[in-house]
Amino acid sequence: MAKTSVTLGIDTDLLARALALGLDLAEVLEIALGRLAPVDGVAEAGTPFDAGESPEAIADYNHRIRERGCFGDTWPD
């Protein structure tokens, strides 16, 4: 895939937080754009799924969390 350089403006505090987390800004932007501007209605691989994509799976997950709790709930503080 060809790459193009772009110039963007970003909130200074947000940029500082992203850099502190070690985020690759180009990767974050590509993931976000892949999710927000899917090709032929399909988000690119590796992007988080949207709740509207699988409401049954989301409902099942929420039910399991209510019943069994979430990983780390019992992790010592």
pLDDT bucket at 17, cuts 50 / 70 / 90: very high
Structural domain tally of the chain? 1
- Average pLDDT, whole number, for the chain? 78
pTM greater than 0.75 (yes/no)? no
C-alpha triplet 18, 20, 22: angle, nearest 5°: 75
In the prediction, which pLDDT does 11 show?
A: 93
In a domain, 25, yes or no: yes
In a domain, 4, yes or no: no
Report the interhelical angle of 25-36 vs 12-20 (nearest 10°). 110
If one compares 2 and 50, the residue with the highest pLDDT of the two is 2
